[in-house]
A = this chain, B = another copy of it.
Amino acid sequence: MKLTTTQSVLTELLETAKNGISTRPVDPILGSLLIEASDEGRLTVIGTDLNVSIKTTAITNIIQAGVVALNAKLLTDTVNNLGSGELDIEVSERTCVISHSTGKCRIVGRNPEDFPSIPETENPTEISIPSKKLQAALEACLYCSSTDETKLILTGVHFHLQGENWSCASTDGHRLALVSSKLEGNYSPISFTVPRRSLTELGKILSTTAENSSCTLKVGNNTIQFILPNAELTSRLLEGEFPQINHLIPKSFANELMVERKGMEIILKRISHFAEKKHKIVKILWEVNDQQATLMTGNTDIGDAVDSLLIKTQNSIGENIGIGLNSGYLQEALKHISTDEVIFRFNKPLQPVIISPLGGLLDQLTLIMPVEVQDFDKPEGLAKYKTDTSKPENENETGAEGVDQLPEREKVSNETTNVTDTPPSDTPTANKSKSRKRKQELKPEPKLETAAV
């Protein structure tokens, strides 16, 4: 085997294919990349962990065909650190010598015949999905699949096609994600579940694929191939029946409320340190008439926190509602939405909460099951948050508390700061002078009943 190529071409091939390899290969041959040079000028690199295989190909100057298996880490570390420029690669007796402008490296390889073969997909059904849509679907779904290998079918994302309709769903038993879209074509009904790890690697490939390309899926009985311009990924399919999830999603909602995504993310980041460690519950009090949501944590040994942001009511029964949610699930749901505004839809406190982007490339939703939380009245001190706006800053109504104790001169300087000097707050809410009126300690004591789908 003998060829010339450039460092950049080889790096791209290796970096993509090595994602097929396990971080802890059980056998040295599975820690290797198979490099194959064909007489037709194709240089192919394959990495596999037996469950998923990634194959990349480039046209290059092949002088003599051949095949070799080389340690993936050593090879990529070496090639990544070569300067850009041309490389001469020559393999004889399983040993590969890479010559570059200032030196050369010799890598001792393994027997390429020990390298596992990639399973064929027999009599496949072919499906074509625009790359960007597939990427968006994985981004919106993958995180809700289970990372617990004992949960079998729940460790994957469930694809379903029928006619022109395509959907992807995932759930770990506590929350679920569902995306759907239309495709060109008219497909006979077909369903299959692809392992999380395979789709994670597919996502990496998709992120480097040309904007307007398509991904061809070849679905067989036990395996699936994803064929992209820059790589082919072959994966086994998960066996078993994916749970019916459509009936879990309510058909109508008493409340549809819009929030600014980044504002809520910042508040969650701020207060979630205070949530008790096990269930990480935050309580959201939706004050629909005041167009405000107040987020709070339960009272724990370390303390607690409360914060507010503006909401826009799209549809509401006009009653305040308090809902307890796992702040980690909520943060993840928001993180996997790309639009600026997010819609929360729900009926009653212990019924599913649906979180969706406003707009976006796909129909997308995350369903989170709330948890029961006691003491959901708004803490007394907070009541002043909205109602005190008419009171002048210097009205000394609380004696020993807050800035009201400041001498007159200080108070004036503080007021000036509020209006002119304070940089804009991260969330579109009331200004500083209002929050000073919150004086009551928060002492809610949530009683948790973890809900499952």
Task: Let me know if A274 is at the binding interface, CB within 8 A.
Answer: yes
Task: Let me know if A271 is at the binding interface, CB within 8 A.
Answer: yes
Interface residues of A in 285-304 (CB under 8 A from B): 294-295, 301-304
A412 → B minimal CB distance (Å): 13
Task: Let me know if A389 is at the binding interface, CB within 8 A.
Answer: no
Kindly specify which of A117-125, A191-199, A221-229, A306-314 makes contact with the partner chain.
A306-314
Asked whether B74 lies within 8 Å of A273 as measured between CB atoms, the reply is yes
- Give the CA-CA distance A414 to B86 in the complex, in Å: 9
- B294, B303, B427: the one contacting A83 at CB < 8 Å is B427
- B63, B266, B303: the one contacting A95 at CB < 8 Å is B303
Asked whether A425 lies within 8 Å of B99 as measured between CB atoms, the reply is no
Dominant secondary structure at the A interface: mixed
Task: Let me know if A4 is at the binding interface, CB within 8 A.
Answer: yes
A121 → B minimal CB distance (Å): 35
Asked whether A435 lies within 8 Å of B102 as measured between CB atoms, the reply is yes
* A64 contacts across to B, CB distance below 8 A: 405
A117 → B minimal CB distance (Å): 25
Task: Let me know if A84 is at the binding interface, CB within 8 A.
Answer: yes
Task: Let me know if A81 is at the binding interface, CB within 8 A.
Answer: yes
Task: Let me know if A61 is at the binding interface, CB within 8 A.
Answer: yes
Interface residues of A in 1-56 (CB under 8 A from B): 2, 4
A160 → B minimal CB distance (Å): 40
* A61 contacts across to B, CB distance below 8 A: 410
Task: Let me know if A151 is at the binding interface, CB within 8 A.
Answer: no
Q: A273-B77, A432-B85 are in contact. Are A106 and B304 (CB under 8 A)?
A: yes
Task: Let me know if A403 is at the binding interface, CB within 8 A.
Answer: yes
Query: Using an 8 Å CB-CB cutoff, how does the interface string of A83-103 with B read, 1 for contact, 0 for none?
Result: 111101010000101011111
- Give the CA-CA distance A108 to B441 in the complex, in Å: 12
Task: Let me know if A417 is at the binding interface, CB within 8 A.
Answer: yes
Asked whether A4 lies within 8 Å of B403 as measured between CB atoms, the reply is yes
Task: Let me know if A207 is at the binding interface, CB within 8 A.
Answer: no
Query: Using an 8 Å CB-CB cutoff, how does the interface string of A397-440 with B read, 1 for contact, 0 for none?
Result: 00001110110001000100110001111110111100110100
* A453 contacts across to B, CB distance below 8 A: none
Asked whether B99 lies within 8 Å of A436 as measured between CB atoms, the reply is yes
Task: Let me know if A78 is at the binding interface, CB within 8 A.
Answer: yes
We find that the number of chain A residues with CB closer than 8 angstroms to chain B is: 71
* A423 contacts across to B, CB distance below 8 A: 83-85
A405 → B minimal CB distance (Å): 6
- B102, B107, B304, B308: the one contacting A102 at CB < 8 Å is B308
- B74, B103, B418: the one contacting A303 at CB < 8 Å is B74
Task: Let me know if A386 is at the binding interface, CB within 8 A.
Answer: no
Asked whether A99 lies within 8 Å of B274 as measured between CB atoms, the reply is no
Question: Among A85, A294, A417, A427, which residue has the most Cβ atoms of chain B within 10 A?
Answer: A85
Question: Among A100, A102, A270, A307, which residue has the most Cβ atoms of chain B within 10 A?
Answer: A102
- B83, B269, B402: the one contacting A81 at CB < 8 Å is B269
Query: Using an 8 Å CB-CB cutoff, how does the interface string of A229-250 with B read, 1 for contact, 0 for none?
Result: 0000000000000000000000
* A426 contacts across to B, CB distance below 8 A: 83, 102
A234 → B minimal CB distance (Å): 29
Chain A to chain B: the 4 pairs with minimum beta-carbon distance, closest first:
A103-B307, A83-B426, A105-B305, A81-B270
Instruction: Please name 12 pairs of A and B residues whose Cβ atoms are closer than 8 Å in the assembled complex, sorted by A.
Output: A78-B270, A81-B266, A83-B423, A83-B426, A84-B422, A86-B414, A88-B403, A95-B441, A97-B441, A100-B435, A101-B422, A104-B306
